[in-house]
Structure 1
Amino acid sequence: MNVSRGKGNAKQGKRDAAWRDMGLRRLREASKRAADCVINSYGEVRTFFVRTPCRSLDRALVVLGDGRENEVVVAVSWVRMGTTEGARKLRELADTDGTGNVSPLAGALVRAAGVRFTGRYYDSRRDGKLVVIAETEPLRGKPDPEFMDGIAEIAVEFPPP
């Protein structure tokens, strides 16, 4: 497991190499672009988008496996805001527990129906007007919490699709 090398590969858009750095391989993936952040969010984050519309929203859902007993699902959202201030406020709000967030794609798209993202394994970053949010949850097995955190740290580094 090499999180720092995985983050470097992720920043370069080398998705499979980044996952290999963690001893994982991509099993299934789905992605979608949306024009409306309001209907694709919940809680105070949804209210924020009503007042401060996003410019674009791309979301991906990826199932990763270690070839043994563990499978995890990763949700990544790339939100482009109209201003850097809007992006700063969105990240601050989304990073606060209990305020809502951007809704991940439905788990059924990657044969992970019923997955519930708890925010336990979460990371985010802002780059100018772009906010990237990543969450991960175990699907099968008992992956180590530090390992799960590392996956979120890598996923948040990927550039938008």
Structure 2
Amino acid sequence: MAKQKFRTLKDGRVVPIDEGGGAKVFVAGAAIVAVVGGGTAAGIGGSASVGSGAAAEALPGNLAGDAADSLPGRSLETRKAEGKKSAKRGRKDETFSRFKLKQLKQTAKHEIDCLLNSTDRVREYLAEHRCTSLDRNLFAVGDGHGNAAVISVARVGFPKKSDAEGCEKVEEVQGSGDIKPLGAALLGLDGVKFSGHHFRSRVDGRAMVVAETETVAGQVDSGTLDALADVSVWFPKL
């Protein structure tokens, strides 16, 4: 089957170039949900999925047996509480093992052009309140049995704490714009878009930190995606 191609319209929507089949992109309000190959689409509040074959090739190690479970038999709330403690210490592997997941891939970028890497009202805010740094990280995690998620963590530095607090107030409103996550294509996961429905933000000194998550293969339930965002936002500057 030929690989589906996409193009971006002037209004920011991503649409398929119809060549008789393949992947499709559905636009549901502010959420863009991509489906490639054998994946399944979800509407608002759902997740983006990449077909298991594509993800298996892009995420070596996600079909290689169980990931370590450091909290066997524990509830999701307990896993989230312990994961937060691990994240605060910067222990990524330990954080992910709280959810019986392992890190499969990671990429990062340090930049200073916040305007180029933001959208809508968030971008307008940054045009009026200068940022001093932008650090973006992207992680792929999986359970070793074909189920995987991607996690974006972005940290925006400002001259003053009040600037960071003001930016978070804009950022946390659904549909108000975003600090653009690093593209999942950097991890070999073409077609994955962040919907913004599994999102957490916080202010850390003079910085605003934003974490977002999405499913990229198999099934990762909504509660776990939310919990991964809740804990990943506590990673110190990476």
Q: TM-score, normalised by structure 2?
A: 0.66
* SS of residue in 2 equivalent to 1:48: helix
* SS of residue in 1 equivalent to 2:209: strand
Q: Which amino acid aligns with 2:207?
A: L
Alpha-carbon deviation of 1:128? 2.1
Unmatched 5+ residue regions in structure 2?
1-75
User: Partner residue of 2:149?
Assistant: 72
Q: Which amino acid aligns with 1:90?
A: C
Alpha-carbon deviation of 1:69? 2.8
* SS of residue in 2 equivalent to 1:49: helix
User: Partner residue of 1:93?
Assistant: 170
Q: Deviations over 1:73-112 (max 9, x none)?
A: 0011011111111101100100001110100111111111
- Percent sequence identity over matched residues? 34
Alpha-carbon deviation of 1:152? 0.4
CA distance in 2 between partners of 1:105 and 1:147 (Å): 21
Q: Deviations over 1:45-96 (max 9, x none)?
A: 1111111111101001110001113100001101111111110110010000
User: Partner residue of 1:38?
Assistant: 115
Q: Which amino acid aligns with 1:80?
A: G
User: Partner residue of 2:189?
Assistant: 112
User: Partner residue of 1:150?
Assistant: 227
User: Partner residue of 2:237?
Assistant: 160
> Within 5 A, what are the aligned runs for 1:52-63?
52-63=129-140
Q: Which of the numbers 74, 80, 85 marks the counterpart of 1:8?
A: 85
Q: TM-score, normalised by structure 1?
A: 0.97
Of the two, which has the highest radius of gyration?
A: 2
CA distance in 2 between partners of 1:18 and 1:75 (Å): 15
Unmatched 5+ residue regions in structure 1?
none
* SS of residue in 2 equivalent to 1:41: coil
Q: Which amino acid aligns with 2:211?
A: A
Q: Which amino acid aligns with 2:186?
A: L
Alpha-carbon deviation of 1:127? 1.8
Q: Which amino acid aligns with 1:135?
A: E
CA distance in 2 between partners of 1:67 and 1:138 (Å): 14
The Cα RMSD (Å) is 0.9
Q: Which has the higher helix share?
A: 1
CA distance in 2 between partners of 1:70 and 1:82 (Å): 40
CA distance in 2 between partners of 1:35 and 1:143 (Å): 33
Say if 2:216 is the partner of 1:127. Answer: no
Number of residue pairs aligned between Structure 1 and Structure 2: 161
CA distance in 2 between partners of 1:51 and 1:22 (Å): 40
CA distance in 2 between partners of 1:112 and 1:69 (Å): 14
